[in-house]
Structure 1
């Protein structure tokens, strides 16, 4: 799908919306639907009725095809997905964003903030869409907006993969912290990274390294690690070389035991979860770096590095200050990761710019591994018989390149 040339189709987008609505009420057989959004829109914005050939406008055609559930007196509109509400024309131009008259808040957010403070905005000139919240202050530039069809399809995919599901106990839609699809995506990306490095090694030496068996569940069992991390590590083949990224190793069974055994039993990492999803979501070191973070980083002039040991810093959630790639526990995404460089820099694997198709989050493991594979394939990282041989300092001096571009593959 060529995203830049994907033109707005009221019919395709309405079909995706209506399929999402059907998912949201599948377990509520008494809930009926109606098609009256155009009337509600003209009640909220009567000046649009004066536009010549109004029914030919893409926005009108789109709204005319949308199913919604009835709004009863004293109630807000119902949910479309766990993240967002159905369209509500009375807040299309909500107060925090009324200085952008071509942007309408099509799907308001479901979060701790008020719905009208953010969600999916649609530009009714370009018909591109983006997730935006008041805390961001300014909208992202036009080249970071996506076709509305893409955002709706991502939500539908979340149902298909089991990310969204119906919680019988709560009688509502809910979000799984991770699914088998997340594991499979990460494994595919991991195999791509290993294959890319192996190809570079074999082209230089004539010999391709052999893969090794994954870590065993028995070796992981004594330690507090996340369920997603355990699933990945016990299925991911280990490479026959040392470095899968600059200064980043892969655990051997012996190194894993030594690293986690040395951790104090009462460490903050093991006693305080970053999430409350109910899964065992301890922050977990997946790929260790070559060094630990120094003890004096609080004096570092870099604001990101000197926050390492502060109350809001990530230092307390590391394994004995060990650098490397960590799975960080999140209430909605247990497969998001953070790279802690040996300097203490925590942001080298953040997204390069704002996440466009949903609420803000850190990059998922699969997204980081795909980016690392591209850095090997493009020749950005050097490779020798030990794997990636670019110095670990690269993450500190090339942070923008290290950051992950939010892509849709």
Structure 2
């Protein structure tokens, strides 16, 4: 099956229409791997295709008349019988229950009165969202038969974003490859009946709040960043060793948490600035906040001496209201330092990411119209507004964030991606190093909203 995985050695293929052969192979691989991981025998896997399960040509002629030939070819090859015969019920993936029923293929969006019937055939709900996740009006994965691209919709309310005329959709094989990558890294796990852990189980899938791969890659990126800075220091480091361990231990976090594991294994540093204007944190502004049992508070990893900027937005009645970068549990704390935070999460919730992080600046950026999130959206734009262009609104908390997630539910960007980009910036000479570490000070981040530098501050889309 390795030849079907999307890799540097096996990149996307130039095809007319959907690459149905590859997509069916990836779909079936997801089914097979989840099936065996959940303790089931391949001898009991019902490999009937979607087309066969729903009656074949004789029953599906009305749908076939509106489907692209390459989509039909995919549905003739993609396994579907397992989802109809498995007991207990079996979901295709954590976020998707399975391929959609024939009656619901086109129940996916609200069309304008001026759109004709031919355009209403364009968008196909190929997979149903997993209703067990509790989204309001769940939808699924929608496929565009004109561009032969797809995008995930946890809820039908997402369609105003995904169909705003600016959001970029992806080839279906990239989304399926993303699911397989989550399985490879242990972020989406199929488990058998012996599982008795605390992660929410959506038969047969669980989502750990972090994985060994997440931890190792974050540590590798942090070590690479430290080594890159040390190699460019004009002289020997002359500071006392500083450790993240002291920062995290003072927060009374579990040693088994991502933060506990990361700080315990992170190397010490003997210089001050790990990124422009940011050094190892010496305070935890949210340490005393009350949280629900098991929930994790925001944790400050790297700080500046300056206070965070307070973003605001205008209400329909004209008032300016504050926008907090944290959940309602922490909004009573209105003053906190600039820096990089591991953000709050419920490690046993539906969408847990213990390694999600957010960089908060002392000023808002984005007003120049260059700064972008990973999905290509301008900072602060109204992503629900329709049209080919949008108006930015300066924000202090959107740098490095993903925007609309093309694969799963939205979450804060993973720490490993930010640290890896910081290491790139030093190694490639985009950030200078002086005797104190990374130079430039906190004003350096304004580069993210300039024509010459914004690309260096936008991360690729990831799950």
Shared topology, TM-score over 0.5? yes
How many Å separate the matches in 2 of 1:44 and 1:329? 50
| Corresponding residue for residue 157 of structure 2 | 135
- CA deviation profile, 1:86-105 (whole Å, cap 9, x unmatched): 10133221142566533322
Structure 1 residue 62: deviation in Å?
A: 1.5
**What is the DSSP-based 3-state SS (H/G/I as helix, E as strand, rest coil) of the residue aligned with 2:216?**
helix
Structure 1 residue 50: deviation in Å?
A: 5.0
| Corresponding residue for residue 74 of structure 2 | 62
| Corresponding residue for residue 208 of structure 2 | 176
Give the stretch that moved more between structures: 177-186 or 374-383.
Answer: 374-383
Structure 1 residue 145: deviation in Å?
A: 2.5
- Identify which of 270, 275, 286 aligns with 1:240: 270
| Structure 1 position 193 matched with structure 2 position 208 | no
| Corresponding residue for residue 30 of structure 2 | 20
How many Å separate the matches in 1 of 2:235 and 2:326? 49
| Structure 1 position 272 matched with structure 2 position 272 | no
| Structure 1 position 223 matched with structure 2 position 251 | yes
Is the 2:291–2:329 contact (alpha carbons within 8 Å) kept by the matching residues of 1? no
| Corresponding residue for residue 433 of structure 2 | 383
Structure 1 residue 60: deviation in Å?
A: 2.0
| Corresponding residue for residue 387 of structure 2 | none
**What is the DSSP-based 3-state SS (H/G/I as helix, E as strand, rest coil) of the residue aligned with 1:243?**
coil
| Corresponding residue for residue 334 of structure 1 | 354
Task: Give the length in aligned residue pairs.
Answer: 382
Structure 1 residue 384: deviation in Å?
A: 1.9
Question: Are residues 215 and 392 of structure 1, via their aligned partners in 2, closer, same or farther at CA, if it must alter by over 3 Å?
Answer: closer
Question: Are residues 289 and 388 of structure 1, via their aligned partners in 2, closer, same or farther at CA, if it must alter by over 3 Å?
Answer: same
Question: Are residues 157 and 49 of structure 1, via their aligned partners in 2, closer, same or farther at CA, if it must alter by over 3 Å?
Answer: closer
| Corresponding residue for residue 414 of structure 2 | 364
- CA deviation profile, 1:311-343 (whole Å, cap 9, x unmatched): 84965578x712211111334211110112235
| Corresponding residue for residue 173 of structure 2 | 149
- CA deviation profile, 1:170-193 (whole Å, cap 9, x unmatched): 563211111111101111222333
Root-mean-square deviation over aligned CA pairs: 4.2
| Corresponding residue for residue 135 of structure 2 | 113
- CA deviation profile, 1:239-277 (whole Å, cap 9, x unmatched): 3321122211124xxx4xxx24xx687x22xx215xx8x
| Corresponding residue for residue 296 of structure 2 | 281
Is the 1:325–1:337 contact (alpha carbons within 8 Å) kept by the matching residues of 2? yes
Question: Are residues 34 and 47 of structure 1, via their aligned partners in 2, closer, same or farther at CA, if it must alter by over 3 Å?
Answer: same
| Corresponding residue for residue 90 of structure 1 | 103
**What is the DSSP-based 3-state SS (H/G/I as helix, E as strand, rest coil) of the residue aligned with 2:75?**
helix
Question: Are residues 327 and 305 of structure 1, via their aligned partners in 2, closer, same or farther at CA, if it must alter by over 3 Å?
Answer: farther
Is the 2:297–2:343 contact (alpha carbons within 8 Å) kept by the matching residues of 1? yes
**What is the DSSP-based 3-state SS (H/G/I as helix, E as strand, rest coil) of the residue aligned with 1:156?**
helix
Give the stretch that moved more between structures: 57-66 or 76-85.
Answer: 76-85
**What is the DSSP-based 3-state SS (H/G/I as helix, E as strand, rest coil) of the residue aligned with 1:241?**
coil
How many Å separate the matches in 2 of 1:174 and 1:352? 23
Question: Are residues 216 and 392 of structure 1, via their aligned partners in 2, closer, same or farther at CA, if it must alter by over 3 Å?
Answer: closer
Give the stretch that moved more between structures: 358-367 or 126-135.
Answer: 126-135
How many Å separate the matches in 1 of 2:171 and 2:458? 21
Is the 2:108–2:156 contact (alpha carbons within 8 Å) kept by the matching residues of 1? no
Q: 5+ unaligned residues in a row in structure 2: which ranges?
A: 1-6, 112-118, 365-394
| Corresponding residue for residue 80 of structure 1 | 92
How many Å separate the matches in 1 of 2:411 and 2:250? 30
**What is the DSSP-based 3-state SS (H/G/I as helix, E as strand, rest coil) of the residue aligned with 1:354?**
coil
| Structure 1 position 35 matched with structure 2 position 51 | no
Tell me the TM-score normalized by structure 2. Answer: 0.68
| Structure 1 position 405 matched with structure 2 position 421 | no
Give the stretch that moved more between structures: 98-107 or 320-329.
Answer: 98-107
Q: 5+ unaligned residues in a row in structure 1: which ranges?
A: none
How many Å separate the matches in 1 of 2:362 and 2:264? 26
How many Å separate the matches in 2 of 1:67 and 1:298? 48
**What is the DSSP-based 3-state SS (H/G/I as helix, E as strand, rest coil) of the residue aligned with 2:418?**
helix
Tell me the TM-score normalized by structure 1. Answer: 0.76
How many Å separate the matches in 2 of 1:368 and 1:212? 23
Is the 1:238–1:250 contact (alpha carbons within 8 Å) kept by the matching residues of 2? no
Give the stretch that moved more between structures: 76-85 or 225-234.
Answer: 76-85
Give the stretch that moved more between structures: 343-352 or 10-19.
Answer: 343-352
Question: Are residues 14 and 5 of structure 1, via their aligned partners in 2, closer, same or farther at CA, if it must alter by over 3 Å?
Answer: closer
- CA deviation profile, 1:164-212 (whole Å, cap 9, x unmatched): 221624563211111111101111222333344344x24xx36689995
Give the stretch that moved more between structures: 382-391 or 96-105.
Answer: 96-105
